[in-house]
Structure 1
C-alpha cells in the first residue's frame, strides 16, 4: 500500500477495512468447509487440496493457497452441490450467466441478491431516487438475477418495479448470424415496451438500464417528441462494460441535456455480475473527465487487478491488469475467479477504503470473441 500518498484518515480506514475483511474471510471459510455447514462441492473439493482450509486460512491473504476458481465448475449440475448444508431446507433460487456458448454458468442464491441491493440502496441519493417511486427494469429477463434484484431494490425503497421482456441469448444469436435488421427490430421491440410503461401514467421516476438501452430509449423518446425528463425519470442506475468516459459524457451532455442540476437526471454507473453482486462507482464528474472507478462491496466480495502473467500478483496503482474476483458470503464462496474484464488499479479512498478498478473493458486476451449484444 502506497501509504505516503494516503491521508492518515484514509490509512486508518484502510487498516480497519483490512481487519474486517480478514475476520470475515476466516468466518466464511470455516462455514463452507465445516461438515455441518459446508456445501457438498467444497467438502468434496477440499480432499484435493494440499492444505486444510479450516486450520490454515486465517485471513484474506491465505486465500492464495486455493487454486484459481474455474468457471467450468459452475457449468452443469447437480446444482444442489452448491447449497450449504445449513441452508438445505431454505427456498433456493438459481441464477444463470449468459449461456451463449453452451451450458450457462449457474449459481444458487437465497438472500444474497436482496442483501447486495439493500446495501446498494443506501448509496442512492433520495433527491433523484425518491422513496416510494416506481421503477422501470430495462434489462435482461429470464434466468438472471438482475430482474429480481431490481425488483427488490424498488420494493426496499417503497416502490414497484415494471419489467420488460428481453432475451439477450436471442440477441447474440442474431448478431452471430449477421441478422442486423432483425437485431434492430428486436431492440425496438424492447424499447417500445419501455416507452409504453413510461407513458402509461405509472409514476415511474427511477430505472435500471444498460448503456446501449438507455441510449436507444432516449432516441426512441426523441422520435416521439419527448425526453426522459419529460416522462418523469430522475434517477438511473446503470451497469455494463460499455460504460466508458466518452459514452458517459455523450449521455449526460447530449441525451440528458446536462448534469443533474441542469437536467434533473442523476445516473450512477455500477459494475456487477451474478457471482459478485454490485460494485459502486466513485462519483462521476466532468472535472475528472467522466472517469469511472468501481469499488467492490467488501467484505462480501473483493476485486483485485492482477498481472496478466501472474494472477496472484497485483499490479501497481494506475497500471493495467486483469480483474480477479473473490466472493465471500455464506451462500456462495468463490476464491480467485479471473473475470473476462481488465482495467486499471485504483487507490482506496475514504468512502471505499480498499482498492478499486477503472476503465473496465473486455479482457484483451479474448475481447474479439466476446459478444456484448444489447448490453
Structure 2
C-alpha cells in the first residue's frame, strides 16, 4: 500500500509539525517499518504522542549498532509499495568496524537534488560542462550512486573508478603501508587513462587521492588542464592542506567539500561569503534540513550542545520517508558554526576524528 495522503514527507506538513507527523508515519502499524513498530512496544514512552520536536528524539536509545545485524527487510516502511518503488541496500564504509546497513528508495535522491543546487552556487560545471569522474567506493556504498545522480542531473556521463575502502582501512590498520601505496597507484593508473581520453571536467576524490594526484606530474597536468570542478569527501583534511589544494594546486577549479556518511546523507560545503574570512570558516558543511541534522555535543555529556565556535562530537539524526534514525553519536569532532542569511541551519567545520575515541579505533585510510 502506498499511502502519500498521510506521508509527512510529501504533503507539505508545516515545519513545526514535521517531527510529530514523521513519528506517526514511522510508528503507525499501517505505514511504519517492522523494526520501529515492534520497538515501540518496548519503549518507555509513546513516540506517536510524546515525540514532537528534535529535542524529544533524545528519548530514543542509540540503535545504530543494531543495524550491523538486523535484516534490512525489517527497515522498510509498510507505507511504501515495494512492488512499485525501487528499494536498495547500502552499507557504511566500515570506519569503526563491521558495516551498518540502510535501505533507501527515493529520499536520498531528493537530498542529492538539493546538493546539486548548492554545487551550482559554488560554480561546479553544469549541463554541457563535461563528464564527471568518481574515484571512490561504488557497489554497496551510496556515495557512488549519489555522484552518478549529480552527473545525471547535468545530463552528462559519470566515469567510475571503484575501490574497496574496507580493504584499504584494514591494510592501514595493520601497518601495511606498502599495500596502500600500491593500491593507490593502481587507482591512479586508471584515472590517468580516463583523464587522458575522456572530456572530464568534474572530479570526485578523497583528500589522500588528490594529494597522490598532485605528487605525479602527469596526472597533475591533466587535472589542471581539464578539470574545472573538484569535489572532495571521505576523510578529514587540515586547513593548510585545503588551502594548498584550492590556491596552489587547483587554482582554476572550484574546490568543494562534502561531509556526511551512509547514515545521515550528504552535508555539502556552504558557499562562502565575504564575511567568512576566518580560517575555521573557510569550509563549513550544512546538512539537508529538515530531514537531516548534525548536533555538536560535549563528548562527556552527549545531550548538551556546545556553543558556537566550540568543538563537539557529532551527533546525527535522520528523518526521511524511507528511514528513521534517532540521535546517534559519530566518531567525528568539529566546530559549531553559526547559520548565515542564505542557510539557516547550523554548520560544522574542521571535521576530524574524535580524540581518544575509545576501544574502537578510527581508521580513515584513503576513504
TM-score (norm 1): 0.87
> Residue deviations 1:42-75, cap 9 Å, x none?
00111121211111222222222222x2321111
**Pairing of 1:194-209 with structure 2 (within 5 A):** 194-200=191-197, 202-209=198-205
**Pairing of 1:225-240 with structure 2 (within 5 A):** 226-230=221-225, 232-240=226-234
> Residue deviations 1:233-267, cap 9 Å, x none?
101121134222111111122322x3xxxx2x001
The equivalent of 2:7 in structure 1 is none
Question: How far off its partner does 1:30 sit?
Answer: 1.1
From 119, 127, 131, the equivalent of 2:127 is 131
Question: How far off its partner does 1:113 sit?
Answer: 2.7
> Residue deviations 1:115-149, cap 9 Å, x none?
12111111123754131331000112221001111
Change (3 A) 1:102 1:357: closer
Q: What CA distance in whole angstroms lies between the structure 1 residues aligned with 2:154 and 2:17? A: 31
Q: What CA distance in whole angstroms lies between the structure 2 residues aligned with 1:60 and 1:21? A: 11
From 42, 51, 75, the equivalent of 1:57 is 51
The equivalent of 2:172 in structure 1 is 175
Gaps of 5+ in 2: 1-12
Confirm whether residue 374 of structure 1 aligns to residue 362 of structure 2. no
Q: Which runs of 4+ in 1 moved over 4 A?
A: none
Question: How far off its partner does 1:308 sit?
Answer: 1.4
From 327, 336, 357, the equivalent of 2:327 is 336
Contact kept? 2:286, 2:346, Cα under 8 Å? yes
The equivalent of 1:44 in structure 2 is 38
Q: What CA distance in whole angstroms lies between the structure 1 residues aligned with 2:20 and 2:182? A: 51
> Residue deviations 1:162-214, cap 9 Å, x none?
000211122122223322222111101011111111111x2111121111112
- What do you get for the CA RMSD once the two structures are aligned? 2.1
SS of 1:29's partner is helix
Contact kept? 1:218, 1:227, Cα under 8 Å? no
Q: What CA distance in whole angstroms lies between the structure 1 residues aligned with 2:220 and 2:343? A: 41
Q: What CA distance in whole angstroms lies between the structure 2 residues aligned with 1:177 and 1:244? A: 24
Contact kept? 1:21, 1:298, Cα under 8 Å? no
Change (3 A) 1:351 1:101: closer
Contact kept? 2:235, 2:366, Cα under 8 Å? no
Contact kept? 2:195, 2:222, Cα under 8 Å? no
Q: What CA distance in whole angstroms lies between the structure 2 residues aligned with 1:102 and 1:346? A: 30
Q: What CA distance in whole angstroms lies between the structure 2 residues aligned with 1:25 and 1:184? A: 47
Contact kept? 1:306, 1:314, Cα under 8 Å? yes
Contact kept? 1:21, 1:59, Cα under 8 Å? no
Contact kept? 1:38, 1:86, Cα under 8 Å? yes
The equivalent of 1:22 in structure 2 is 16
Contact kept? 1:327, 1:335, Cα under 8 Å? yes
Confirm whether residue 295 of structure 1 aligns to residue 286 of structure 2. yes
Question: How far off its partner does 1:102 sit?
Answer: 5.5
Change (3 A) 1:275 1:224: closer
Q: What CA distance in whole angstroms lies between the structure 1 residues aligned with 2:242 and 2:110? A: 28
Confirm whether residue 80 of structure 1 aligns to residue 73 of structure 2. yes
From 94, 105, 128, the equivalent of 1:110 is 105
Confirm whether residue 97 of structure 1 aligns to residue 92 of structure 2. yes
Contact kept? 1:342, 1:362, Cα under 8 Å? yes
Question: How far off its partner does 1:361 sit?
Answer: 0.8
Contact kept? 1:218, 1:228, Cα under 8 Å? no
TM-score (norm 2): 0.88
